[in-house]
Amino acid sequence: MNLRAITICALAAAAALAPLRAAAAEAPDRIARGSGDLGIVVERAAGRVVVVETSTPSRLYAIDGLGDLSHASAVFSRDQRYAYLFGRDGGLSKLDLLRGALVKRVIQAGNSIGGAISQDGRVVAVSNYEPGGVRLFDAETLAPLGEIAATAADGKRSKVVGLVDAPDDRLVFALYDAGEIWSADIADPRAPKVLRYRDIGRLPYDGMITPDGRHYVAGLFGEDGAALLDLWRPEAGVRRILGGYGRGEEPLPVYKMPHLAGWASAGDLGFLPAVGRHEVLLVSLSDWREMGRIAVHGQPVFAVARPDGRQVWVNFAHPNNDVVQVIDVPTRSVAATLRPGRAVLHMEFTPRGERVWLSVRDADRVDVYDTRRLVRTASIPAEKPSGIFFTARSARLGY
Amino acid sequence: MRRASWSLSAALAVAIAAFPAAAEPASAPSAQRQAELANLLDHDCGSCHGLTRRGGLGPALTAVALADRDDDFLADTILHGRHGTPMPPWNGELTRADVRWLVDRLRGR
């Protein structure tokens, strides 16, 4: 290429760039970035969500007017641009993380508890307490598509808990009042096909699916143990695991329901909070037998594995919720006891797990810890923070 | 060790129950205690009953929802829990004066 041609090319390029520069000046850098290091922190009392970025780390934007966000949780679109936020008041909000804006909000029920996004990302499902059931929405528009009324064998509607997505266009969830697990094929969301499993145990309080999407586990509050469904063998039914782990001991009063959503699986072991006990239970992921217990500081709420499975981080129910413990998986022992502050409600790992973010509610702070050195590396102000959700969840089944 | 501290809490609760006049102030909780109780009600009770107390896994606790329950029933439920449900007893850390204040708050008084 001769000099003249280069000059012309350069001029043409400058001409092409000029309007882009102008547009960029009007909308500075908001769009010109990826979303793989973004996430949200729920400020539940304020009805607000803070969009955060984990690389710096920092707050980017606040999005207000999201209603009652107690127990709020979120799932993400497959392009990791949008968050779908499930509020207690039945609100379903679609948030644009890149623009830091509310896209759309619908009140879809009277009282809801969580949600899921389908494997193909086209359907958002919300699990409701009132009226008990699951409602399905178009992920693009939030237009209603269908409903699965959780009407149990006794004719009453049940609160729905533990809703997860599963491979092959399925949703799986548990009926708290009725003690059932349902698996729904939502390939046609306007006409879901439901498989019901009855008598799975008393008061299932939450559910989770293994990372491979094969096994669904519902934790039981009304009795010791959990209920297991093998989604590769739906005809085999639900079986009980970890039955009688309390061995007749009187459980302690439970000041906060444990969660299984962050149920940890590390290697061939699963870690789950023991209800009403100061223990984390270990279960074999191959034959589902109990493999031991680890004594911990209080009643566990979340037991979450670092993405590589080397550590499991545990937080606790009131009145021990100022402490977080780190379990070393190879030795199955508590390696560290941290005291971030009062009311540590939630923990979320960065996608590859070098950092973990902790919401410290009563300190109005989110703390960032280095998971190798177990020291705090940053703090971000947040008003009464609860759930923390990062976009990497979009690539994981059951999240 | 944690179990031991629970036993201690239980023992304290028994002591408080046995000697109510000595262990509990007759007057309303201090301003600082009221702030702690308000926080407890919003966030710890709220984790099951909802931040706005319109219900969750536990029943609604709005003034309207509680209209046909008397104060003693509410106080007993808070102090001793409800057997067969997830509602735990709070007598390990709440005094009767605390509970009276909470019941007033629930009533909107």
What string of pLDDT tens digits covers the 109 residues of chain B?
333 344 444 444 444 444 444 444 457 899 999 999 999 998 889 888 988 898 888 999 999 999 999 999 999 999 999 988 889 999 988 999 999 999 999 998 8
Contact between A361 and B93 using a beta-carbon 8 Å cutoff = no
Evaluate if residue A352 carries a pLDDT over 80.
yes
CA atoms of A207 and A58, how far apart (whole Å): 32
Residues of B near A (Cβ–Cβ under 8 Å) read 2-3, 6, 39, 42-44, 46-48, 50-52, 54-57, 81, 86, 88-89, 93
- For residue B23, tell me if it sits in a domain: no
Contact between B56 and A71 using a beta-carbon 8 Å cutoff = yes
How many domains does one find in chain A?
1
What was the pLDDT predicted at B59? 92
- For residue A130, tell me if it sits in a domain: yes
- For residue A398, tell me if it sits in a domain: no
Chain A contact set for B81 (CB, 8 A): 253
Task: Give the burial string for A12-40 (b: 16+ CB within 10 Å, else e).
Answer: eeeeeeeeeeeeeeeeeeeeeeebebbbb
Q: Is B39 helix (H, G, I), strand (E, B) or coil?
A: helix
Interface predicted TM-score of the whole assembly (ipTM), two decimals: 0.74
What was the pLDDT predicted at B35? 94
Cα-based distances in Å from A8 to A5, A19, A22, A211, A332: 5, 18, 22, 55, 67
What type of residue sits at position A392?
Answer: A
The CB density around residue A188, as the number of other CB atoms within 10 Å, is 11
Cα-based distances in Å from B59 to A129, A249, A253, A372, A397: 11, 28, 18, 43, 32
Residue bearing the bigger pLDDT, A256 or A216: A216
A293 in contact with B, Cβ within 8 Å: no
User: How many residue pairs bridge chain A and chain B with CB atoms within 8 Å of each other?
Assistant: 66
- For residue A39, tell me if it sits in a domain: no
Evaluate if residue A172 carries a pLDDT over 50.
yes
Question: The domain that contains B34 carries what CATH number?
Answer: 1.10.760.10
Contact between B88 and A255 using a beta-carbon 8 Å cutoff = yes
CA atoms of A255 and A52, how far apart (whole Å): 30
What is the nearest CA distance from B98 to chain A, expressed in angstroms?
16
What type of residue sits at position A123?
Answer: V
Among B3, B47, B90, B98, the residue to mutate for chain A (most A Cβ within 10 A): B47
- For residue A305, tell me if it sits in a domain: no
Domain with A206 in it: 108-254
Question: Using the 8-state DSSP alphabet, how is residue A143 labeled?
Answer: -
Cα-based distances in Å from A65 to A69, A137, A388, B87: 10, 21, 18, 31
What is the nearest CA distance from A30 to chain B, expressed in angstroms?
33
What was the pLDDT predicted at A254? 87
What is the nearest CA distance from B19 to chain A, expressed in angstroms?
23
Residue in chain B closest to A45 (alpha carbons) equals: B51
- For residue B95, tell me if it sits in a domain: yes
- For residue A265, tell me if it sits in a domain: no
The DSSP annotation for A182-232 comes to: EEEE-SSTTS-EEEEE----S-EEEEEE-TTS-EEEEEESSSSSEEEEETT
Contact between A176 and B57 using a beta-carbon 8 Å cutoff = yes
Chain A contact set for B51 (CB, 8 A): 44-45, 68-70, 88
- For residue B92, tell me if it sits in a domain: yes
- For residue B5, tell me if it sits in a domain: no
What is the nearest CA distance from B3 to chain A, expressed in angstroms?
8
How many domains does one find in chain B?
1
- For residue B22, tell me if it sits in a domain: no
A159 in contact with B, Cβ within 8 Å: yes
Evaluate if residue A91 carries a pLDDT over 70.
yes
- For residue A204, tell me if it sits in a domain: yes
Residue A330: alpha-carbon gap to chain centroid:
26
What residues form DSSP beta bridges with A237? Answer: none
In this prediction, what percent of chain A has a pLDDT beyond 70?
Answer: 89
- pTM for the predicted model, two decimal places: 0.86
Domain with B72 in it: 28-107
Question: The domain that contains A115 carries what CATH number?
Answer: 2.130.10.10
